[in-house]
Amino acid sequence: GDSVTQMEGPVTLSEEAFLTINCTYTATGYPSLFWYVQYPGEGLQLLLKATKADDKGSNKGFEATYRKETTSFHLEKGSVQVSDSAVYFCALSKVAGNNRKLIWGLGTSLAVNP
């Protein structure tokens, strides 16, 4: 079945370090891919998305490229800040007829130290 696998956390980095959070997926067809972020005590927020192969989503310095050949959607940021400390979720969406499925990874916790 369809699934999303994220690298396990927690990830701990120093401020200004480079961030990569790996996400791979298994799905038939042509899913859309998302990264959501959950700051402490809050709900999830859409961080970026890509709807077709080779699309690059970007927002707030974060980027992720939809790689169909490697079934991946890795999240990257060149220089993290303390305020980026949060849990990051990778997800995929598929539409089949009148139904759609949103499948989530388990989340990766990121802690950025000053």
Q: Which residues sit at the interface with other proteins, rule CB under 8 A?
A: 32, 34, 36, 41-46, 49, 51, 89, 93, 95, 98-102, 104-107
Alpha helices in 14-85 (DSSP H): none
Least spacing, CB of residue 17 vs other proteins, in Å? 25
* Spatial separation of the C-alpha atoms in residues 57 and 33, rounded to whole Å: 9
* Spatial separation of the C-alpha atoms in residues 25 and 5, rounded to whole Å: 6
Q: Is 84 strand, coil or helix? A: helix
Least spacing, CB of residue 77 vs other proteins, in Å? 21
- Nearer of residues 34 and 80 to other proteins, judged by Cβ: 34
Interacting residues of 92 by C-beta distance below 8 A, sequence separation 6+? 2, 4, 25, 27, 31, 32, 33, 34, 102, 103
Least spacing, CB of residue 32 vs other proteins, in Å? 4
- Nearer of residues 77 and 89 to other proteins, judged by Cβ: 89
Least spacing, CB of residue 34 vs other proteins, in Å? 7
- Nearer of residues 43 and 114 to other proteins, judged by Cβ: 43
- Nearer of residues 33 and 80 to other proteins, judged by Cβ: 33
Q: How many residues does the chain have?
A: 114
